[in-house]
Chains A and B, each alone.
Chain A
Amino acid sequence: MSIALLVMQDTEDGRAIVRAIQKDNDDVKVTPKPAMIQVEREKQIVIKSETVQEELGRDWDVEEMQIELVSIGGQIEETDDEIIVYWDN
């Protein structure tokens, strides 16, 4: 099965997004890289803005994802409330 991939910057906000991903997705593989965090999961990764807001303690627009994003592996589905990185195969 294909692996959906996200690489985030290892920053205050980046780590909060990763914590949110871990809350909303089972069996995520998180690997620390130098100055980055690699997140992998089978088929798809969901980033919910509500959970990220809880982690950050402030409003967070899904577009802010771009600030922390280093690399992405998969197709992207973006709505006002969530981003889904997935493979449709």
Chain B
Amino acid sequence: MDIASIEIKPKRQGYAHLAEKFGEDRPFSRYEEAVFGAQPSENFHYRPQWDVEHEIFDATRTKIVMNDWEDIVDPRKFHYMTYVSTRAKQNATNVDTMTFLEKRMMLEKMSDEDVATITKYITPLRHYFYGANMNNLELTAIGYGGPFCSATQFQAEDELGFAQQVTKIILELTNNDVSVLDAGKDAWLNAPEWQGMRKAMEDSFVVKDYMELFIIQNAIFDGIMIPLMFSSLSSNLTPAGNIAMSMMSEFVVTVTEETNKWIDSVIKVVASESVENEALLTQWANKYISITEEALSQLDAEAVASIKEDLVVRLNKSGLSL
């Protein structure tokens, strides 16, 4: 007996707007389906009352000029499913780490000086990360292009996640003493060593140019603040405190390493588009590196200087000329 099989070919492999964009009909990846063509670009009616100079979605809200904003893709290829499952996996590891530290009583063994150093430096960061979250939500709101704005939305969630991680670390260390959190807020608002950074953060809230804001928040602020607080801080602790703190910081450090690939790639794509773009990015980076360096050197000038050196090398590798 001969059983014949028929193979029925689908008429189309993928969505028509993607076939048109890429000039070929093929099965497109979930990432491509999620981000390309997501940006509303025509048939706008009224201009927004909060910004009558521009259309509601308008690429001219930045001085950066791109032929196609969809070129700024995310090398992590994050769409909802991949983003959520990646972070869930990382958080599961994080929860395991916290459980391990508790089980082996590593936090109780930590010296009071170490606990004081950690709470003093990282508690105010809850408010820094909240600001960073707002800046990235602003990028998502006024930015242009599906791939760029979906990545900034994920970045906004990550910043909030970092704030939560800081809260977790502090509460673990202080046996759920919430008054430490209030003291952290008070330090962010009133302690002289934090006022430089708080001013820089609050000034960034009113920056209108979204690519400038991207450089400020994601490349410069985070680029200096996160290594300062989650890597350099450890060297001021006793060896035992250093181990526990490094383990608790691992979530923030791993996510940041991964995020930096996206940030570097955005800068690389935008800078290689034109000499004018590269000059603008370089100018912004220079300006905000010195603002941030000055603001944070009140906390630890030596560490900030060495982090800044690394950051300059990293940004130059992405095509800037600092």
Q: Which of B70-78, B154-162, B189-197, B305-313 contacts A (4 or more CB under 8 A)?
A: B70-78
CA distance A58 to B85 in the complex (A): 12
CB within 8 A of B29: which of A10, A12, A34, A58?
Answer: A12
Closest CB of chain A to B33's CB: distance in Å? 10
A57:B7 contact, CB within 8 angstroms: no
* Residues of chain A with a CB closer than 8 A to B7's CB: 33-34
A58:B76 contact, CB within 8 angstroms: yes
CB within 8 A of A12: which of B30, B74, B78, B86?
Answer: B30
Question: CB of A43 within 8 A of chain B?
Answer: no
Q: What 1/0 mask marks residues of chain B from 32 to 53 whose CB sits below 8 Å from any chain A CB? A: 0000000000000000000000
Known contacts A34-B7, A57-B82, A58-B82: does B27 contact A10 (CB below 8 Å)?
Answer: yes
Question: CB of A62 within 8 A of chain B?
Answer: no
* Residues of chain B with a CB closer than 8 A to A12's CB: 29-30
B76:A57 contact, CB within 8 angstroms: yes
* Residues of chain A with a CB closer than 8 A to B77's CB: 56-58
Question: CB of B31 within 8 A of chain A?
Answer: yes
Closest CB of chain A to B245's CB: distance in Å? 25
Question: CB of A84 within 8 A of chain B?
Answer: no
CA distance A43 to B68 in the complex (A): 41
Closest CB of chain B to A39's CB: distance in Å? 15
Query: Closest chain B residue to A34 by CB distance?
Result: B7
Size category, A interface: 10 to 19
CA distance A25 to B132 in the complex (A): 44
CA distance A39 to B168 in the complex (A): 49
Question: CB of A16 within 8 A of chain B?
Answer: yes
Closest CB of chain A to B36's CB: distance in Å? 15
Q: What 1/0 mask marks residues of chain A from 1 to 33 whose CB sits below 8 Å from any chain B CB? A: 000000000101001100000000000000001
B30:A57 contact, CB within 8 angstroms: no
A16:B86 contact, CB within 8 angstroms: no
A57:B74 contact, CB within 8 angstroms: yes
CB within 8 A of B86: which of A10, A34, A58?
Answer: A58
* Residues of chain B with a CB closer than 8 A to A54's CB: 75
Q: What 1/0 mask marks residues of chain B from 166 to 208 whose CB sits below 8 Å from any chain A CB? A: 0000000000000000000000000000000000000000000
A57:B27 contact, CB within 8 angstroms: no
Query: Closest chain A residue to B78 by CB distance?
Result: A57
Closest CB of chain A to B87's CB: distance in Å? 12
Please report which residues of chain B, range 13-33, place their CB below 8 angstroms from some CB of chain A when the two chains form the complex. Answer: 27, 29-31
Known contacts A57-B82, A58-B86: does B27 contact A15 (CB below 8 Å)?
Answer: yes
Known contacts A56-B77, A57-B76, A58-B76: does B29 contact A16 (CB below 8 Å)?
Answer: yes
A15:B29 contact, CB within 8 angstroms: yes
Q: What 1/0 mask marks residues of chain A from 26 to 61 whose CB sits below 8 Å from any chain B CB? A: 000000011000000000000000000010111000
CA distance A57 to B79 in the complex (A): 11
CA distance A49 to B67 in the complex (A): 32
Which residues of B come within 8 Å of A, CB atoms? 7, 27, 29-31, 74-78, 82, 86
Q: List 17 A-B contacts (CB under 8 A).
A: A12-B30, A15-B27, A15-B29, A16-B29, A34-B7, A56-B77, A57-B31, A57-B74, A57-B75, A57-B76, A57-B77, A57-B78, A57-B82, A58-B76, A58-B77, A58-B82, A58-B86
In the A-B complex, list the 4 residue pairs whose CB atoms are closest, starting with the nearest.
A57-B77, A57-B76, A12-B30, A57-B75
